[in-house]
Structure formats: structure tokens, C-alpha cells
Amino acid sequence: MRKKIVAGNWKMNKTLEEAKALLSEVVNMVKDEVTGDVTVVLCPPALYLTTSRQYITAGGRVALGAQNCHEKASGAYTGEISAPMLQSIGVEYVILGHSERRQYFGETNAQLADKVNSALENGLTPIFCCGESRELRENGDYIGFVKDQLTDSLFHLSAETFAKVVIAYEPIWAIGTGLTASSAQAQDMHFEIRRHIAGQYGDAIAQDITILYGGSANEKNAAELFAQPDVDGGLIGGASLKSREFTNVVKAVN
């Protein structure tokens, strides 16, 4: 049975007071309004994770996620945060390989394989991001590119461990641009991702893996995107910063 998830990636936004207000609004709206079988993952800036924990009841519908972690468990890596640290404060999910981390911080597929390992070894669920640039979408083998991202960073995992990963397909050209992939474009790529996984791990695991769509998803387009058979929810950036809109996106999961 595939798990439906809507995750909010707050990126580098909100002061502490604003973050507390957003947390409390989202947690309450989800409690009062969301009836469907969907897990909501809130990913505030790392600085606010400990405070955020106080708003989120362990084992409930809302879970806490980080936006990144280092691949090593500890050591002389000034400014970094490790998977055991996240685990120790009750974080359950971690976004890995977001295109902004790949682009601005030079994260590679090989480094992401190490981050995925560290997250899984410490009981965190990686939300592993993949997706192609606009140039590739227009002129290149964009499906092959996304398949290679999965192969290089995830396919070393055993079947049992791979089954714990959540994948987020986020075409770079759609992130923060207002250019959403059409529901057909999202479905086509999610289908290809699932087929690629089936080739490595078999159909049963491929059918069970949660694959989220990310890229300018909002309260207007979410229902159509989430209605696609291979789209199991969303990774939401801009629209996760407003409680009303984000809750509406969550409610679009059926």
C-alpha cells in the first residue's frame, strides 16, 4: 500500500516567531480539516527543528523533516548537521539532493549516496529529490538523466532498505518559477521512475514506493497532479509558507 505524503519545504524562510505561527496554524488546520490518509511532513529551517518538535505529536499525521544532513555522523565539519543529531531530536524525514543543494552547494550523486546511507542508518526517511534542467527537458535525454540520479545515489541499497526511501521528482524548470509540469508530464516521468525501480528491485517494490511531485504545485493545480496514478503527493516549496494554501494542498490528496 503506497503512502501518500505532502511535504512542505520552507527553505531559508521565516523568523522564529513566524515559524511558530505557521507551525501552529498548519498543525491545527490539518487536525481539524484533513480526513484522508495522508502524512504531512513539515521541513522548517534546521535552526527551528527543536522548537518545531513541540508543535508536532510523535506518531501523528504531521511529521518533522529536515532539509539536509551531512553524510558523516560527527566530526570536524563546521556548520554542518548530521543524521544522528536529527534523529536525536525526533526528526523523522530528511530532504536529500534538492536541486538547490546540487546547484549551489555542489552536491553530487556519489555524495548523496553517502547522505542517503547515513539517513537510513539513523532511522530517518530520505525524501530523495531528482529532476532535470530546462535545457535537458528541451534538448536531451532527460529521462535517462533522472534514471542515472536514482541509479547512482540509491541503487546500491538492498531491496529492504530501498523500500524505506521516498522519491520526489522535481523538474528544476518548475521549481519556484510558477511553471508547473502538466499533470501528463508529471505522470509520464513518475511512470518512468517506477519502471526504472521495477527493473532493479522488481514490480512489488516499485508499486509500493512513494513518488512525490514538486515544482510550483499549489492549491489550484494540486488536485489534478495528485490524481495521476503514479503521483503519490507533493513536495511543496512556496505554497508551504502559507498555512491556508498548504492545508488546501494537503486536502487535495485523495
Q: Which residues bind ligand PEP (CB under 6 A)?
A: 9, 170, 175-176, 214-217, 235-239
Q: Which is nearer to ligand PEP, 150 or 222 (CB)?
A: 222
Q: Which is nearer to ligand PEP, 95 or 206 (CB)?
A: 95
Classify 233 as helix, strand or coil.
strand
User: Closest distance between ligand PEP and the C-beta of residue 14, in Å?
Assistant: 14
Please state, in angstroms and rounded to a whole number, the distance separating the CA atoms of residues 3 and 26.
Answer: 20
User: Closest distance between ligand PEP and the C-beta of residue 241, in Å?
Assistant: 9
98 annotated active-site: yes
Q: By beta-carbon distance, which residue lies closest to ligand PEP?
A: 237
Q: Which is nearer to ligand PEP, 150 or 235 (CB)?
A: 235
Could you say which of 98, 107, 132, 190 is catalytic?
98
User: Closest distance between ligand PEP and the C-beta of residue 58, in Å?
Assistant: 25
Residue whose C-alpha cell is 566530526? 75
Could you say which of 71, 100, 170, 219 is catalytic?
170
Please state, in angstroms and rounded to a whole number, the distance separating the CA atoms of residues 124 and 67.
Answer: 12
Buried b (16+ CB within 10 A) or exposed e, 160-173: eebeebbbbbbbbb
Active-site annotation, residues: 98, 170
